[in-house]
Structure 1
Amino acid sequence: MARPLLLGLLGLLGLLGGPHAHGHGRTLRFVTLLYRHGDRSPVKAYPKDPYQEREWPQGFGQLTKEGMLQHWQLGWALRQRYKGFLSASYHRQEVYVRSTDFDRTLMSAEANLAGLFPPNGSQLFNPNITWQPIPVHTVPEAQDKLLKFPLGPCPRFEQLQDETRRTPEYQNESQQNAPFLDMLANETGLTDLSLETAWSVYDTLFCEQTHGLVLPPWASPETMQRLRQLKDFGFRFLFGIHQQAEKARLQGGVLLAQIRENLTSAASPAAPQHPKLLVYSAHDTTLLALHMALDIYNGQQAPYASCHMFELYQEDDGNFSVEMYFRNRSDQAPWPLALPGCPQRCPLPEFLRLTAPVVPEDWARECQLVNTAPDTEVVVALAVCGSILFLLIVLLLTVLFRMQAQPPGYRHVADGEDHA
């Protein structure tokens, strides 16, 4: 009885917060979704962890039954939100789904599609199965330059990270947390704990706690809260704190560039047939990198099955606008998001103009290390000074040699001088 009630509530929220609530004279033309995978097992255990991989039915980093249900519910809510925009049944020309090459993201996309497009009529291939196979595309992890963050290898990004480690904010955070990190290292058995790796301890403990496992005494609520803060700091270290705009060009701006291209293509009347719905199934770091590039990150979490929505509308005057929403709770309608400098209903040209500074022109070139001009100038200046000094020494030696070569008692007599 509780499950139908929950689904009914989700449907109502989807309709109330859906694109049909925006008024008359507007047409929804295109939607891009970026969502995080559902609930999973820990990515790894720490050395002293009493719960090793054998505790998890499918091993580390795998989607759980709770995660499957979360994405099925998200797919069902999306079906209600975009009712009347998407066809009632699945049509391959309308939908394109891409995932990172991880079991949990691939399976999340499949569970989501099961809720979004349950088969009916002629699409039922087995009356006992209310599911149909729908393609989910991917590329090998090593070749993924769109959804798996941080993107690399990128020497300039690594250089920026080194510079971030030297900032006062990072140094202060490191100093303040040194005793806490020492305690963690002692309790977990990890020898390489830092501000950048403490997230892994929080992730493991969070997953264990979520699934009803008893945490060790040292993992108190205060410890968990501090670990959560360190996890957030680690994410900000990756994509912000120092030179955020340049980091965005090397990270989230790459995905944003593809989203901008998708929006522009969907708004072009001369474009070939374009899908109505384009979906990316990825990770919390993907969402965070995108939010940092859009400059809309305010510390909000990206929980399991959270979803960022881009909706492209054609206004009654023929112009296009972009609206963004973020769904991070299943019991509430998606939150509206506004790009800094633009209203929540942002004209497409303005959206493109405001996001252009964080879109790389040539990612591979921008990833190369920059030869700083001051260093080059110093080398040139030293070379010039050395050359001048060498010439002065040669000149001085020449003068001294000529003076020593003159015979003793020789005196120059000027023309017309009187001789006595």
Structure 2
Amino acid sequence: MTTSPLPLLLLLFLSFLDRHAWAQGQDSTLQLVQMLYRHGDRSPISLYPNDPHGNVSAVWPMGLGQLTKKGKAMHYELGRWLRTRYDTLVGPDWVPEELIVRSSDTDRTLMSAACNLAAFYFPKHDDERFEKHLPWMPTPIHTIPAALDKLILIESSCPRVKVEEKNMDYLPEVKKILEENQDLFKFLTEKTGQAVDNITAVSYIFDTLMIESAYNLTLPSWTKDVWDRMERLHFWSFKLMAYTPELKRLRGGPLIKEFGDNMRKKVAGSSSSSSSSNVDTKIYMYSGHDATLAIVTEALGVYNGLPPPYAALFLLELHKVDDQYFVKMYYHNDTAMREPPYPLVLPGCSEQCLLDDWLSLTAKVVSDDWDKECHSGFPFGLSLNTFAAICAAVILGVLLLILLIYNLIICHRQKSHFAYRPVPSSSP
């Protein structure tokens, strides 16, 4: 007995109409989109000393921490999904003012952004291509050295984070977790051949094991006994990244502040005759990491407690209805690109949150002076780089002074040795 394809075709057609109607209504009010996504599938960031698959060139020819073919395909699909969702907001041709892309300074995030944009700005016709047989349009991606990154991966630019992480270990709930897992730390230290004494170290090892398992590499038998415990700590590691108000402000605050500033500029520009490029910008795209997504969503109070999967996407949309601006937030974590994004509700607001309310509610995680707070604890409120430079200059000055004194002493001794002495007259 065969089933008629008509019901299925009708269902698909109705689904298409529903999506089309949704897109029309969505784009009629949509003013600005800001998105933050995680890079695609990658090789392990690191291997532990006793890893049976330690031959990197044989197992991971692209190197450690690099985007895989699967990861490239993931972001190409995400780019197609974004094109479908925002097709009427941004045209098929890249316009400098319309879309701004920012990535952390790592290969996998830069490459993910490139793959995403290759689909988002896919040139369908020969006359749209600079090479007839190359269906690709180059699109600029901006980045900044990790030591200067204050938005996406701020670990190197904010030394205060390390201080706050140390302080967090003394919180009762965190201290309890550490005490309960001392035996696990000791077990992993013995089995992996590396020192394991904290939750982050467990998370990195577990990440490596997960990737190796996903690529059908045989794991050591000891992993079965501790898999569930490692997984729980792995989950905890993401929660702890922005666990305290200070870490929310230091790690998540800069990007949340930029989200707010971008929306303020859009509204201010739209209500004036200004020709500023901020008025014309329709999409801000940030290519980051699982940590970036977990931190930002935790700081906003909408984190779901699960490590963000590859190509996970956080969306922040600014809409205008009857001269009022409101914000919608979404989370998309379906790597198959079949499911719609999940609506997120900012605590204290509704799914459609008035812009003023959104800005007011997020102000608590935005630092008044992030640079000063990040470098607090250093003498005279100096930044780490400035303090280090001054210390280096002082040390160099002292060495030069010692060298000068040494030379003066040597010169004095030489002058004393070669001083003029009258030759004694000989006896007649």
1:43 pairs, out of 41, 45, 63, with 45
Aligned to 2:365: 358
2:219 pairs, out of 211, 215, 219, with 215
| Alpha-carbon shift at residue 21 of structure 1 (Å) | 4.8
Name the % identity. Answer: 36
Aligned to 2:87: 83
| Alpha-carbon shift at residue 89 of structure 1 (Å) | 2.7
Tell me the distance in 2 between the aligned counterparts of 1:158 and 1:325: 31
CA contact (8 A) 2:200 2:237 kept: yes
Question: Aligned AA for 1:357?
Answer: K
Question: TM (normalized to structure 2)?
Answer: 0.78
Question: Aligned AA for 2:357?
Answer: E
Aligned to 2:396: none
Question: Aligned AA for 1:36?
Answer: R
Tell me the distance in 1 between the aligned counterparts of 2:146 and 2:191: 33
Aligned to 2:99: 95
Tell me the distance in 2 between the aligned counterparts of 1:356 and 1:83: 32
Structure 2 spans left out of the alignment, 5+ residues:
1-10, 379-428
Tell me the distance in 1 between the aligned counterparts of 2:163 and 2:15: 45
| Alpha-carbon shift at residue 11 of structure 1 (Å) | 13
CA contact (8 A) 1:197 1:234 kept: no
Question: Aligned AA for 1:76?
Answer: R
Tell me the distance in 1 between the aligned counterparts of 2:13 and 2:150: 35
Question: Aligned AA for 1:208?
Answer: E
| Alpha-carbon shift at residue 171 of structure 1 (Å) | 1.6
Equivalence map 1:47-196=2 (5 Å): 47-52=49-54, 53-54=56-57, 55-121=59-125, 122-150=127-155, 152-155=157-160, 157-196=161-200
Change over 3 Å in CA distance of 1:16–1:199 after alignment to 2 = farther
SS at match of 2:176: helix
SS at match of 1:278: strand
1:277 pairs, out of 275, 283, 288, with 283
Aligned to 2:381: none
Deviations 1:121-156 (A, max 9, x none): 43212232211211111111111111104364333x
Q: Does residue 257 of structure 2 align to residue 250 of structure 1?
A: no
Say what the alpha-carbon RMSD is for the aligned residues. Answer: 2.5
Structure 1 spans left out of the alignment, 5+ residues:
1-8, 372-420
| Alpha-carbon shift at residue 276 of structure 1 (Å) | 0.7
Deviations 1:249-301 (A, max 9, x none): 11101110011101111122235133111100010111111112111123033
The number of aligned residues is 357
Tell me the distance in 1 between the aligned counterparts of 2:207 and 2:119: 28
Tell me the distance in 2 between the aligned counterparts of 1:217 and 1:233: 24
Aligned to 2:230: 227
Deviations 1:147-171 (A, max 9, x none): 104364333x333322211111112
Question: Aligned AA for 2:363?
Answer: A
Q: Which has the larger radius of gyration?
A: 1
Question: TM (normalized to structure 1)?
Answer: 0.80
Question: Aligned AA for 2:153?
Answer: K
Tell me the distance in 2 between the aligned counterparts of 1:82 and 1:11: 20
Question: Aligned AA for 1:346?
Answer: C
Deviations 1:293-322 (A, max 9, x none): 11112303310000000111111x111111
Aligned to 1:267: 267
Tell me the distance in 2 between the aligned counterparts of 1:147 and 1:15: 38
Tell me the distance in 2 between the aligned counterparts of 1:256 and 1:68: 27
Change over 3 Å in CA distance of 1:38–1:23 after alignment to 2 = same
Change over 3 Å in CA distance of 1:187–1:352 after alignment to 2 = same
CA contact (8 A) 2:235 2:306 kept: no
Change over 3 Å in CA distance of 1:13–1:251 after alignment to 2 = farther
| Alpha-carbon shift at residue 17 of structure 1 (Å) | 6.8
